[in-house]
Structure 1
Amino acid sequence: MIRTITISDFISLSEVIPLVDVRTPAEFAQGKIPGAFNLPIFTNEERVLVGTTYKQVGREQAILLGFDLTGNKWSSFIKEALEISPAKKIAVHCWRGGMRSGAMAWALDLYGFEVYLIEGGYKSYRRWSAGQFEKNYQLNILGGMTGSGKTRLLHQFRSSGEQIIDLEDLAQHQGSSYGTMNKMVQPTQEQFENNLAFQLNLLDQDRTVWVEDESLTIGKRCIPNPFWHQMRDAVLVNIQVPHEYRVELLAAEYGALDAAFLIECTERIWKRLGPEQTKNAILAIEEGRMPDFIRIVLVYYDKTYRTGLSKRNKEKVITVELESKDIMANAARILNSLKEAATRK
């Protein structure tokens, strides 16, 4: 049996049903619904052939060509679907909910699958995603200079039962010139948005959500504007950590990275550091003097942070000084300071 279902209703189902995306590998790589499996009806090249035929000859000839190209593939499609969903209950989509998903749904239904056909296809998920960014969230922003341990605190908040969105994890970038840490590969902008929307949908909108303070761009990925504006209007908890604690944390973290990577990243910000400081930073890297390297680049990053902080609404900035290295104690102190500030209003 084939059931047509909206993407919103599908995501809201209490039962987890495997989702197959029958678009080409190239389309799937550009952006997918989180958790979807790729079961492409056409290869990248075959899709071009069918599309060209549709435009130049007509719909019926394109359909015939499609069947010619996939004629001996259908048994393998069904076998793959069985591996994905042995219970023979599955959801299917293509780009717009057209011929490709319709054909796959027909074949799987014929074999005995219970099929959920996503109305509007992947395009409907993209519209649904945009809607998540427009919703109002009760955001708290965790700010602080580079090396303050914000990400660790964010994860400690989650362990304490708080809701969080880790934008840097979603973007696979730590937000500085060194942000890939020589290992992370950023998703496409489309996929970043898809993943963020999916996580936002899991939140309880009646509870606060913690997000780390970020620029509009994280590496090469851009935070969707509606959500970004909410971040800028939210309360910012500005944590202040002793300078040497920050140097110690960053020296340990960056010291494990390849020197050539650090030098390349440092050279990219030479205009901001200045030629002399860039030279000194690179020399410190080459000589293994990580604390000295960190102190040099922190001058630039601290200045950038102060500039951004000065543009914030001062009435929505709460400063919390942290002297301890105990992350649990620091997280508790931040949460208590926020409650105290709310009580004073």
Structure 2
Amino acid sequence: MTIDITDFFELRNRLPVVDVRSEKEYAEGHIRGAANIPILNNAERVAVGTDYKQKGQLEAIKTGFRLVGPRIIDIVNEAESVARERELLVHCWRGGMRSGNFCHFADMARLRTYQLKGGYKAYRQKALESFGLPFRFMVVSGNTGSGKTEILRALAAKGEQVIDLEKLASHKGSVFGGLMLPPQPTTEQFQNELFEEILKLDLSRTIWIEDESIAVGKIFLPEALWRTMSASSIVEVEVAKDVRVGRLVNEYGPADKMQFLAAMEKITKKLGGQHFNTAREKLLQGDMAATIEVLLAYYDKAYTNGMDKKQKRIQYKMSWDGKDASEFAAEILSVAGKAAVIKG
């Protein structure tokens, strides 16, 4: 049975999804939760593609049959291991031959399949469209070490809608942001994960999001979403520098010194040679607090310069001692709620 993308989103709440594209295609970007059972693996896909270019479509199809034939039993066994109650949602890139053949093999094994019309391409189209939706963002901003991510997660714990970009990107934004974290996903996979979070949102309500540059590590935010963020209201969190130093020491103190130094070398010019040498010396001496002090001289200046262009967007400025994020989140919500009442 063929289904459209709307039915796909409904059915996947109870049925498993199988992505029959090659391992490489899947790694570059896939639907959250989908199992990868390639109808053509990486090498086979290259072979079929080569024959298509050199010998034509018919010969390419024959090559595909020849390569897949010996593996049909393995494909069916994998499908059975994934299927709940012997039903599956299936897709390839465009909802064409690969998913069609997979469904044919599975159907012969008495598995009921639902083939996604338009395939993964239809899903990606919906994802890209979602980034231009009319989000009601409230952007949480503050100097490096202010605990913005911690505040966002405290807001989420109180039932607020939150998009945690740094969690999705597996990166904390600064040049040190990848330390002690798993490798970043591809930009395509990041977009897919972001889309999955967007699907959960009520667009009539406020969505809290951290103030980020357009790049989070190696990943670039979708331009449409970035434009909306850049025009949204800001709550600026003010935290004393000594508190921020302490928080950053706790955060990056366990990092490997040589990896931290390698990251620091990437901003040598921005720090200035003298400041870099001082920070390097303090780091190698094991004085992380002094190292962070030097680095904040650069990061605080960059933050101030950036905020000079955002003054008209600041709706609230709130001081925090950096201790109880849950309590501070409640304070933010109280201030925001009172402001909404007055405005109303």
Aligned to 2:100, what secondary structure does the other structure show?
helix
The Cα offsets for residues 78-113 of structure 1, whole Å up to 9 and x where unpaired, read as 111111114111011111111111000111112111
What's the offset of the Cα at 1:315? 4.6
1:223 aligns with 2:218: no
Segment drifting more, 293-302 vs 324-333: 324-333
Aligned position for 2:315 = 317
Offset at 1:14? Answer: 7.0
User: How far is the alpha carbon of 1:324 from its aligned partner?
Assistant: 5.6
Q: Is the 8 A contact 1:320 1:337 kept in 2?
A: no
* Aligned positions of 1:281-296 closer than 5 A: 281-296=279-294
Change over 3 Å in CA distance of 1:167–1:242 after alignment to 2: same
The structural deviation recorded for 1:313 is 4.8
The residue matched to 1:40 in structure 2 has which SS?
A: coil
> 8 Å contact 2:147–2:322 — kept in the other structure?
no
Which residue of 2 is the match for residue 112 of structure 1?
110
Q: Deviations over 1:85-144 (max 9, x none)?
A: 141110111111111110001111121111110111111111111111111111111111
TM-score by length of 1: 0.96
Matched residues in 2 for 1:6 and 1:238: separation? 43
* Aligned counterpart, 2:306: 308
Q: Which residue of the other structure, out of 327, 330, 336, is the alignment partner of 2:334?
A: 336
Deviation at 1:222, TM superposition (A): 0.6
Mapping 1:91-110, distance limit 5 Å:
91-110=89-108
Aligned partner of residue 210 in structure 1, secondary structure: strand
- Counterpart of 1:7 (choices 5, 20, 27) is 5
Structure 1 match to 2:239 = 241
Letter in 1 for 2:2: T
1:259 paired residue number:
257
Instruction: Give the secondary-structure state (helix, strand or coil) at the position aligned to 2:131.
Output: helix
1:341 Cα shift? 2.9
Gaps of 5+ in 2: none
1:40 to 25, 38, 49: 38
Counterpart of 1:142 in structure 2 is: 140
Q: When the two structures are aligned, how many residues end up with a matched partner?
A: 343
> C-alpha root-mean-square deviation of aligned residues, in Å?
1.3
One-letter amino acid of the counterpart of residue 79, structure 1: N
**Counterpart-to-counterpart distance in 2, 1:183 and 1:130:** 27
For 1:275, the equivalent position in structure 2 comes to: 273
Match of 2:181 in 1: 183
Q: Residue in 2 aligned with 1:74? A: 72
Corresponding residue SS for 2:89: strand
Preserved CA contact (<8 Å) 2:90 2:113: yes
2:9, 2:98 → 1: CA distance? 21
Distance in 1, Cα, partners of 2:111 & 2:305: 58
The offset of 1:243, in angstroms, is: 1.2
SS in 1 for 2:316: strand
> 1 CA distance for matches of 2:218 and 2:2?
37
* Structure-2 change in CA distance of 1:242 and 1:150 (3 Å): same
User: 1:150-194 CA deviation, whole Å, 9 max, x = no partner?
Assistant: 111111111101010100011110000101014321111111111
Rate the CA distance shift 1:198–1:15 in 2: closer, same or farther, 3 A: closer
| SS of structure 1 residue aligned to 2:176 | coil
**Percent sequence identity over aligned pairs:** 40
Contact 2:19/2:37 (CA < 8 Å) preserved in 1? yes
Q: Distance in 1 between matches of 2:277 and 2:169?
A: 30
Structure 1 range deviating more: 46-55 or 274-283 = 46-55
Is the 8 Å Cα contact of residues 182 and 261 (structure 1) preserved in structure 2?
A: no
Whole-angstrom CA distance in 1 between matches of 2:251 and 2:22? 40
8 Å CA contact 1:7–1:125 kept in 2: the answer is yes
Q: Quick one: which amino acid aligns to residue 290 of structure 1?
A: M
Q: CA deviation at 1:304?
A: 1.2
Return the letter of the residue paired with 2:242. Answer: E
Which secondary structure does the structure 2 equivalent of 1:140 belong to?
A: strand
- Report the secondary structure of 2:335's partner residue: helix
Q: Which residue of 2 aligns with 1:232?
A: 230
Secondary structure of 2:70 counterpart: coil
CA contact (8 A) 2:238 2:320 kept: yes
Question: C-alpha offsets along residues 283-316 of structure 1, whole Å, 9 cap, x if unaligned?
Answer: 1111111110111101111111111111115254
C-alpha displacement of 1:339: 2.1
Letter in 2 for 1:307: N
Deviation of residue 58 (structure 1)? 2.0
